[in-house]
Structure 1
Amino acid sequence: MYGPAPLTAAHLVGEDIRAVAALVIAALAAEGTSTVHGLYHLQRGYSSLLSQLTALGAELGVDRY
């Protein structure tokens, strides 16, 4: 095997705004379906991030923030 290990799906918890934004982006790059908890942190500064990612073609299932 050469290069970095591929990202795989996981259940993730973000404790602050930057962590949650990074986890969402990493989850999109991973193979499989990931669950990210703590999305309410995005309301503090990246409130439009999820809608922008959806507009770009990301498949997001968001129940609530």
Structure 2
Amino acid sequence: MNRYLRWYASLHKFYRILFWASISVGAFGVVAGLATESVPMAGLGVFWLVGGPAVIFLASLFDSE
């Protein structure tokens, strides 16, 4: 857990905003999918919850700063 907190603390502000935006969109998608019983919508929300932070992690690895 300490490793992930250090990773998040070392992120540039732009990546932090993208991180929270992807978490928010994913959470909204999961809740909306479960509320409407729409499996594709819930799947899209899970994709955002998992894929968004993963893409941000990869982008932060290649950041030249």
Query: TM-score scaled by structure 2?
Result: 0.32
TM-score (norm 1): 0.32
More helix by share: 2
Higher relative strand content: 1
